[in-house]
Amino acid sequence: MALLSRVATVLYVLGRDVERTEHLARLLRVHFELSLDRSAPSGRHFWSDFLQLAGWPAPDPVVREHAIALVLSDAAGPSLRRSLESARRAGQAVRPSLSIETWQQLNSLYWRLSDAGWQGRPDAYLRQVEMGTQLIAGLVDDTMTHDEAWNFVKLGKYLERAANVIRLVERKASELAEHDEDAIAWASVLRSCASLEAFRMRFGATMSAQVVSRFLLLDRLSPHSAAFCIGAALAAIQGIDTDGESPPHRVLGRLSATFQYADPAQVGASPAKLITRFDEQNAELHQALRRNYFQPSQLALDYAGDQLTRHPQQQQQRSEG
């Protein structure tokens, strides 16, 4: 590893928080649209369940406007504005490692959305966020050299996406346990992962807990499945650790194998066991990342559950050939 640990940390945070911003925007937009389509989406707990899915310890019950305000605010918690602000600070800190196009889009999106209001039109506001973050991701791939810095951005992005997909499947499988054949509800789960069209190309209009869960967890071709994301994160680690001997490389390799060789029928019928194994190995992975690559950084969000800062260590600058 040639990068300083401080730079590696910030690049990882950048990739993670751009992905987190996009996920929160899409998750809120899909739930907002679902609440409009149905007079009583899932009873009075609908928005409380949404906030818990987004990472908030939600009061019960909560009205739509309160839920939207929390996720779009800069309050202490997993909010869209905090994630985007953290991504922009990360970009400022490692500006020489980014292409000018990537930085300009990140900076422009931050200021454009800071000046825009969402009252009355959260759907339009959230679509701007989604498209803006997707453009950043495309510029990272198409304008940055695919070197070690690029791999740390990709590592943050795909580990965040995998965790988001798994958390979504876990909570929705529980919430919709009594509505296994509710096609609209399960379609909204796929839409929350930008995977509805990809799913329909494979399975048609069939919607059930078993088929959707198996697809989102194990599909190797869909870029928003957990298995695909873990494989992409492993490829990023392989670009960083060319010798293949680092603890993060070994842990992530085991995690990838867990998903690659899982039994699809068992996972579809009961995804809880696979999700538990992911949680255990993911915690081990983040500890290995901190010990080997990262330096604690004030740029990382520090709300409850943040894997990167849960047990920070006082690691100094690191430069290995």
Q: How many CA atoms lie within 13 A of 26 on its CB side?
A: 25
Question: Which pLDDT score, from 0 to 100, does residue 78 have?
Answer: 84
**What is the model's pTM?**
0.89
**Residue 154 belongs to a domain:** yes
Same domain, 116 and 197: no
Q: What pLDDT does residue 312 have? A: 33
Residue keyed to tokens 């990739």 = 15
Residue 135 and residue 155 share a domain: no
Domain containing 259 equals: 146-294
Amino acid in position 20: R
Tokens 């499988």 label which residue? 173
| Residue 61 domain flag | yes
Contact 224/195 with Cβ under 8 angstroms? yes
> In this structure, is residue 10 part of a structural domain?
yes
Give the per-residue pLDDT at 181.
63
Shared-domain flag, residues 162 and 137:
no
Residue linked to tokens 């009961």: 270
Q: Domain boundary residue among 144, 160, 189?
A: 144
CA distance 11 to 154: 9
Q: How far apart are CA 170 and CA 313, in angstroms?
A: 30
- DSSP one-letter code for 62: -
Q: Are residues 25 and 37 located together in one domain of the fold?
A: yes
Same domain membership, residue 177 and residue 133: no
Residue where a domain stops, chosen among 118, 144, 170? 144
Domain membership flag for residue 300: no
140 and 150 in a single domain? The answer is no
Residue 210 near residue 269 (C-beta atoms within 8 A): yes
**187 shares a domain with 110:** no
H or E segment and range at residue 262: none
The pair of three-digit structure tokens given for residue 225, joined into one six-digit string: 């499945």
Under 8 Å between Cβ of 161 and 229: yes
Judgement on whether residues 55 and 157 belong to the same structural domain of the protein: no
Question: How many domains, the chain?
Answer: 2
Q: How far apart are CA 5 and CA 57, in angstroms?
A: 33
Q: What is the spatial distance between Cα 103 and Cα 98, in angstroms, rounded to a whole number?
A: 6
Asked whether residue 50 falls in the same domain as residue 154, the answer is: no
DSSP three-state, residue 231: helix
Q: In the prediction, which pLDDT does 311 show?
A: 35
3 state SS of 270: coil
Q: What is the total residue count of the chain?
A: 321
**What is the pLDDT at residue 117?**
67
Q: Is residue 105 part of a domain?
A: yes
**Nearest residue to 24 (alpha-carbon basis) of 46, 55, 48, 45:** 55
Whether 173 maps to a domain, the answer reads: yes
| Residue 301 counted as domain residue | no
Residue 231 sits in the same domain as residue 117: no
- Do residues 297 and 9 touch, judged by C-beta distance below 8 A? yes
- Give me the pLDDT at residue 151, please: 97
Q: Do 104 and 238 share a domain, yes or no? A: no
Last residue of a domain, one of 144, 171, 201: 144
Model confidence pLDDT, tens digit, residues 76-112 = 678 898 999 999 999 999 999 999 999 999 999 999 8
Residues 285, 161 share a domain: yes
Residue 227 lies in a domain: yes
Whole-angstrom distance, CA of residue 288 vs CA of residue 281: 10
Residues of the chain with pLDDT under 70: 1-2, 38-44, 74-76, 116-120, 177-181, 295-321
